[in-house]
A and B are shown apart, each in its own frame.
Chain A
């Protein structure tokens, strides 16, 4: 499997799902919502918004988890054989938590939330081990096929 295909499924797709969550069930007072409202018009965005009340985890935390998942996947795909695995894991987790901590210290806008932080850590770990597993499998397959006559 090509690394670009993995990047698409493990980075682009989670980010797109996160964007859909923000646009359909998230707050309408976000930078991205206002930007797309200017570009696409209010009618379209109002039309696609969910009319049903989804569980709070999906509404408030899933998009953050998917963002952390996409970031860790991208970092792993780009740097797995270039940075020590343990360092890569630390950078991924630190980067995922840094944005939430930046909110706590008032560096960025938003509200610090421990559930957000925990969700990001879980999704980062999930992405890290999944990507390592997939890349190891690909590496084993390549090695197996190279031994075939």
Chain B
């Protein structure tokens, strides 16, 4: 009994040591910016010191359930402002955002280092 306890304690100590060297989960942080839609454009005003690189942008229109329109590999410098026309957003079927419609929500996601930055906006 004593031997079994000692065996499991030894194994537990080594497993704790191994766990201490495990990679941490990437942190999630909200990207600080203001997102507006004006006419047929989305405007992103960065309030962050973080450069956006290889971001994925998506807009959704509630009247078109199950369809999202994306811009991939999007980049924007820290504290910069950018205007993205709706026509740059493409669905998986390569269709552009319907003319005359307005998006109801916006989602941005990108990874920098070990942090996933995201911004969700309901218009």
Residues of A within 8 A of B (CB): 15, 18, 22, 26-27, 29-32, 34-35, 63, 67, 70-71, 74-75, 78-79, 82-83, 91, 95, 99, 108-111
Instruction: Please classify the interface of chain B as helix (H, G, I), strand (E, B), loop, or mixed, using the class held by over half of its residues.
Output: helix
Would you mind naming 17 contact pairs between A and B with Cβ atoms under 8 Å apart?
A29-B24, A30-B21, A31-B20, A35-B20, A67-B14, A67-B17, A71-B14, A75-B7, A75-B10, A75-B11, A82-B3, A99-B15, A108-B18, A109-B19, A109-B22, A109-B23, A111-B23
CA distance A29 to B15 in the complex (A): 19
The interface residues of chain B lying within 8 Å CB-to-CB of A71 are 10-11, 14
Contact status A78-B6, CB under 8 Å:
yes
The interface residues of chain A lying within 8 Å CB-to-CB of B23 are 27, 29-30, 109-111
Q: Which of A26, A70, A82, A83 contacts B14 (CB 8 A)?
A: A70
Contact status B21-A32, CB under 8 Å:
yes
Chain B, residue nearest A30 (CB): B21
Residues of B within 8 A of A (CB): 3, 6-7, 10-11, 14-15, 17-26, 114
Chain B, residue nearest A67 (CB): B18
Distance (Å) between the CB of B24 and the closest chain A CB?
A: 5
The interface residues of chain B lying within 8 Å CB-to-CB of A74 are 10, 14
Distance (Å) between the CB of A70 and the closest chain B CB?
A: 7
The interface residues of chain A lying within 8 Å CB-to-CB of B22 are 30-31, 108-110
Contact status A29-B114, CB under 8 Å:
yes
Q: Which of A63, A83, A108 contacts B19 (CB 8 A)?
A: A108
CA distance A29 to B114 in the complex (A): 8
